A and B are shown apart, each in its own frame.
Chain A
Amino acid sequence: MSVLVAAEHRRGALRDVSYEAITAGRELADARGADLHVAVIGGDVDGFAEDLNRDGVDAIHTVADGEEFDHNAYQAALSQLADGIDAGAVVLPNSVNGLDYAPALAEALGVPIVTDAVGMAYDDGLTVTREMYGSKVETTVDVAGDRFVLTVRGGEWPPAEGVGDAAIESVDVDVPESGARVTGFEEVGGGDVDIADADVLVSVGRGIEEEENIELIEDLADALGATLSASRPIVDNGWLPKNRQVGQSGKVVTPDVYIAVGISGAVQHVAGMKGSDTIVAINTDPNAPIFDIADYGIVGDLFDVVPELIDEFA
């Protein structure tokens, strides 16, 4: 039995989570005394294969099919490979594209899937650590049987390093004609401001409750000489434009100071701001996950604290 990892790339570059998935895959392979296989599908597969040849990788399978991600090709290739190498464990990135094929692959292979793993242990079987209830709790989940598909959250495993001596082999896959065709890409969130350039960001979340209250946070940003940014729901509601959104599907920001006001700290938000030098959080909920990554925290009502803070700088 072996372990199969699929790499992820976009627009000519491998994404970091590919190397992290290799580390997770190696962990499982060690626990099961198995070989670690890596698949890379589409794009510059030969160049990618060289990059993916890190310590601990036993074999790399390249599947030349198109330039960009196509769930149909990924599923066909990984089904065929998983059968060919008797893959007991398939480890995939828990990315937007991962979520577009991993569940279908598990279904096609007839094995259970656990998504968004943040940790795992393999003893007699697989135990996955994952979060629930908006990151307020962690759970351990036991998986019955010894075959499964696992998707791993980005940033939870260190990237695989070094140079391996994997056998690199190109594989032909019959990709059935797809009823889902990618016709292009579009960049969104451009415009007048680039929040990624700001030294100080004041970021507003759903705790603000009403559109008219945004003004209060604008006033705070003005008082601090800061730029205003937001979590996703504020942008979804149309209260601020898309170019103000921090997070996985918005901008990744690394200001000197990031002040999160009424933001819970969901993983997709944190992905966009955890690299900030100093993180301040103001939130009524002492259990809000944002406090786990904050340097300074105030458990309190933003409608009480923010006016006082504005006064301090007035």
Chain B
Amino acid sequence: MKVLVTVKEVAEADDDFAIEGTDIAESDLEYDLNEWDDYAVEAAVQLAEAGIADEVVTVTVGRERTEETIRMALAKGADRAVRVWDEALDGAFADVASKVDLFEAVVAEEEPDLVLGGVQAADTGFGATGVALAERIGFEHAAVVNDLDVDADAGVAHVHRELEGGVEELTEVDLPAVLTVQTGLNEPRYASLRGIRQAQRKEIAAKDLSDLGLTADDVESSLTITSMYEPESESDAEMIEGDAGESADRLAEVLREKGVSA
């Protein structure tokens, strides 16, 4: 069985950041593998270790810089990677359908039995790509999976979907399927030194639109970010000033007023 894992390098804003135009200034962003995707990679690698998956391939949409992040997934045990990028994607805010166009083309080449991805990307928080992809490629799907047991012989994934309020839905999903993975599904490993060394030799295949049989028109986004700003704080919080001792002193006073005591 072959597992394809969609991974994204996400940006996190520094404590102090400036907005330039419609994004946060590049110098105020830190990049990392998306937290949710880390759990998806781990799930795939565990399937390989259990002898259920023969190959784990990651696919990402991102410029060359993202290779550092992709290598982390390879160091954790993915076999190889596909990185899709094209000038036509530069500067635009890709909509769900255009990401699905790209992944659809990669799925056609790779023919996976299972596609795993994170529930959402931490930076944009759309939470939509996996389920839309499933619809496009005719796979079954389940979103927000926090328990996974693949029965390859029966061609079924037994999953829990984590609903709101401490309730989980138990579902059987026929393969091939796309599952979006929730944090807590497993314990993502740290890359070992050996893994990091091996990752240097693993293949990252770079593909542009024409490699995938697509054109710039195919991936034209229907969404445009027209402004970005720090939300007006509606808070009337009392911000307690002073050094740690002074602020603890004032907070203790507040807490006692509220009746807090051991």
Contacts and interface: CB of A to CB of B under 8 A. Distances in A.
A236 B184 contact: yes
Interface in B144-177: 144, 160-174, 177
B196 to A, nearest CB: 22
B100 interface: yes
A296 B237 contact: yes
A222 interface: yes
A232 interface: yes
Contact of B233 (A10, A141, A292): A292
Nearest to B253: A312
Residue among B22, B234, B244, B262 with max Cβ neighbours from chain A (10 Å): B244
B97 interface: yes
Interface stretch (A31-39, A49-57, A161-169, A177-185): A177-185
A141 B225 contact: yes
A294 B184 CA distance: 27
B167 A187 contact: yes
Contacts of A103: 96, 127-132, 135
A112 B163 contact: no
A156 interface: no
A133 B12 CA distance: 6
Contacts of B251: 280, 296, 298, 305, 309, 312
Given A134-B13, A185-B167, A185-B170, A139 B228 contact: yes
A78 to B, nearest CB: 13
Interface residues of B, number: 87
B122 A134 contact: yes
Interface SS, B side: mixed
Given A112-B97, A313-B261, A308 B224 contact: no
A154 to B, nearest CB: 9
B8 to A, nearest CB: 14
B234 A292 contact: yes
Contacts of A238: 187
Nearest to A200: B260
B51 interface: no
Contacts of A106: 96-97, 128, 132
A196 B240 CA distance: 28
A131 B225 CA distance: 11
Nearest to A138: B231
A205 interface: no
B229 A137 contact: yes
Given A287-B15, A298-B240, A188 B249 contact: no
A171 interface: no
Contact of A133 (B13, B174, B247): B13
B223 interface: yes
B193 to A, nearest CB: 21
Contacts of A48: none
Contacts of B140: 178-180
Interface string A261-303: 0000000000000000110110011110001111111111100
Nearest to B229: A138
A158 interface: no
Interface in A101-123: 101-104, 106-108, 112-116
Closest 7 CB pairs of A and B: A308-B248, A179-B174, A312-B252, A304-B244, A236-B184, A103-B128, A104-B135
8 contacts: A103-B132, A138-B230, A179-B174, A181-B172, A224-B260, A287-B17, A298-B247, A308-B247
Interface of A: 10, 69, 71, 75, 95-97, 99-104, 106-108, 112-116, 127, 130-145, 178-189, 200, 222-226, 232-233, 235-238, 242, 248-252, 256-257, 277-278, 280-281, 284-287, 291-301, 304-305, 308-309, 311-313
